Amino acid sequence: MNTTALGLMTGLALGFAAAFGGFSAFLLVAVFGALGLAAARIIEGKLDLSALTGRASSRR
CB proximity list for 45: less than 8 A, separation 6 or greater: none
High-pLDDT (> 90) share of the chain, %: 0
Instruction: State how far the Cα of 38 lies from the Cα of 7, in Å rounded to an integer.
Output: 8
Residue 41 has pLDDT above 80, yes or no: yes
Instruction: State how far the Cα of 31 lies from the Cα of 9, in Å rounded to an integer.
Output: 13
| Reported confidence tier of residue 59, pLDDT bands at 50, 70, 90 | low
User: What's the pLDDT score for residue 56?
Assistant: 57
Instruction: State how far the Cα of 1 lies from the Cα of 24, in Å rounded to an integer.
Output: 30
**pLDDT tens per residue across span 9-18:** 877 777 777 7
Residue 39 has pLDDT above 60, yes or no: yes
Contact 15/30 with Cβ under 8 angstroms? yes
pTM higher than 0.95 for the full model? no
